[in-house]
Chains A and B, each alone.
Chain A
Amino acid sequence: KAGVTQTPRYLIKTRGQQVTLSCSPISGHRSVSWYQQTPGQGLQFLFEYFSETQRNKGNFPGRFSGRQFSNSRSEMNVSTLELGDSALYLCASSTGSTGELFFGEGSRLTVL
């Protein structure tokens, strides 16, 4: 079974730009969650989508948004990038009922 796939793996943007990250969950998994990982703040929950609906949202500004498609693939978007948005963005999928999350390799975003 293929694991969680995230694209792109690395990207560099400048302040003010926007970025879209993609996540393909494990086949059969309907829940996709996004996390931001930084050295100072650790792993912080951004949001979760389940069956195309946002089920949970963390404490991030409205510049961070996401969506999920009917095939469970998910995207997250960050608009008006700031230097502090530089981080590893991790996507995790689960069946939505067992609780075990499977993480992707992440998308490392650098904002210059």
Chain B
Amino acid sequence: GENVEQHPSTLSVQEGDSAVIKCTYSDSASNYFPWYKQELGKRPQLIIDIRSNVGEKKDQRIAVTLNKTAKHFSLHITETQPEDSAVYFCAARFSGNTGKLIFGQGTTLQVKP
């Protein structure tokens, strides 16, 4: 079935360190992989996304890599800052251009000053 596994569930790093969150997906036909950041009491906000025809994408301190063969993708945050503390969700779109995303369970990232 349609499934996205996300690890770890919690991650604590020191300010300035890097953080990596990994996700695997079940359907090889998936073509779109967004990452959302959700701060406490706020809406999920898209921070970066990648499509299946691209292996890596960067945006300042954030990067996402995609390995289609292994069906996994990862979020990399470098030089972490306290304001990066939030819950991060990976997701995959399994069929066509629709609004249906399957989300991972989320990773609570804590960046200690």
Contacts and interface: CB of A to CB of B under 8 A. Distances in A.
A103 B44 contact: yes
A32 B105 contact: no
Contacts of A45: 100-102
Interface string A74-112: 000000000000000010111011111111111000000
- The binding surface of chain A is classed by DSSP as strand
A66 B103 CA distance: 21
Interface in B11-65: 32, 34, 36, 42-46, 49, 51
A34 B21 CA distance: 25
Interface residues of B, number: 24
Contacts of B101: 33, 43, 45, 101
Interface in A20-56: 31-33, 35, 42-45, 48, 50, 55-56
Contacts, number: 66
Given A42-B103, A42-B104, A100 B34 contact: yes
Contacts of B103: 35, 42-44
Contacts of A104: 43
B44 A56 contact: no
A52 B84 CA distance: 38
Instruction: Give chain B's interface secondary structure class.
Output: strand
B99 interface: yes
Interface residues of A, number: 28
B98 A56 contact: yes
Interface centre among B36, B43, B103, B106 (most CB of A within 10 A): B43
B89 interface: yes
8 contacts: A31-B98, A43-B89, A43-B101, A56-B98, A90-B43, A90-B44, A98-B97, A103-B36
Given A42-B106, A90-B44, A102-B46, 7 more contacts: A32-B99, A33-B100, A33-B101, A99-B51, A99-B93, A101-B34, A101-B99
Interface of B: 32, 34, 36, 42-46, 49, 51, 89, 91, 93, 95, 97-106
